């Protein structure tokens, strides 16, 4: 089955800096890659996603890139703000529709 590795496990940045979180996946059939933000006491919130026919997608301060050949995808957050502090999860979905395999999560802390 699919295996998703996520790095780093913790990331600490100063407000205004950029943050990058990377994930690799094992199943070349995977074709959908969402990113979720989970704040304390809440469920995961979808922040951006990308499909295998696209190499990059951007939404304001957030961007995701996908390298199908290398089987890795990354989340980029620019101009970070303290409210970006949360746990971020990447995920991959492939052959089985809707079945998401999650990475281990990254605790992002943005210092004012």
Partner 1 sequence: SAVISQKPSRDICQRGTSLTIQCQVDSQVTMMFWYRQQPGQSLTLIATANQGSEATYESGFVIDKFPISRPNLTFSTLTVSNMSPEDSSIYLCSDSGPQETQYFGPGTRLLVL
> Which parts of this chain interact with partner 1 (CB under 8 A)?
1, 32, 34, 36, 42-46, 49, 89, 93, 97-105
Q: Closest separation between CB of residue 84 and partner 1, Å?
A: 19
If the CB atoms of residues 80 and 101 are measured against partner 1, the closer one turns out to be 101
Q: Closest separation between CB of residue 81 and partner 1, Å?
A: 23
CA–CA separation, 35 and 74 (whole Å): 9
If the CB atoms of residues 83 and 97 are measured against partner 1, the closer one turns out to be 97
If the CB atoms of residues 14 and 42 are measured against partner 1, the closer one turns out to be 42
Q: Closest separation between CB of residue 42 and partner 1, Å?
A: 6
Q: Closest separation between CB of residue 112 and partner 1, Å?
A: 25
Q: Which of 92, 94, 112, 111 is nearest to 102 (CA)?
A: 92
If the CB atoms of residues 19 and 91 are measured against partner 1, the closer one turns out to be 91
Q: What is the number of helices (H) and of strands (E) in the chain?
A: 0, 11
**Length of the chain in residues, anyone?**
112
CA–CA separation, 21 and 11 (whole Å): 8
What is the CA angle 49-13-36, rounded to 5?
A: 20
SS3 of 53, please? Answer: coil
């Amino acid at each position: 089955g699919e295996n998703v590795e996520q790095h780093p496990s913790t990331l600490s940045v100063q407000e205004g800096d950029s943050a990058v979180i990377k994930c690799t996946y094992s199943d070349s059939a995977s074709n959908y890659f969402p990113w979720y933000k989970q704040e304390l006491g809440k469920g995961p919130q979808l922040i951006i996603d990308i499909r295998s026919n696209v190499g990059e997608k951007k939404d304001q301060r957030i961007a995701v890139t996908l390298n199908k050949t290398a089987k890795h995808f990354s989340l980029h957050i620019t101009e970070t703000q303290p409210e970006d502090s949360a746990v971020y999860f990447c995920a991959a979905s492939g052959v089985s529709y809707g079945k998401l395999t999650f990475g281990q999560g990254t605790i992002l802390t943005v210092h004012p």
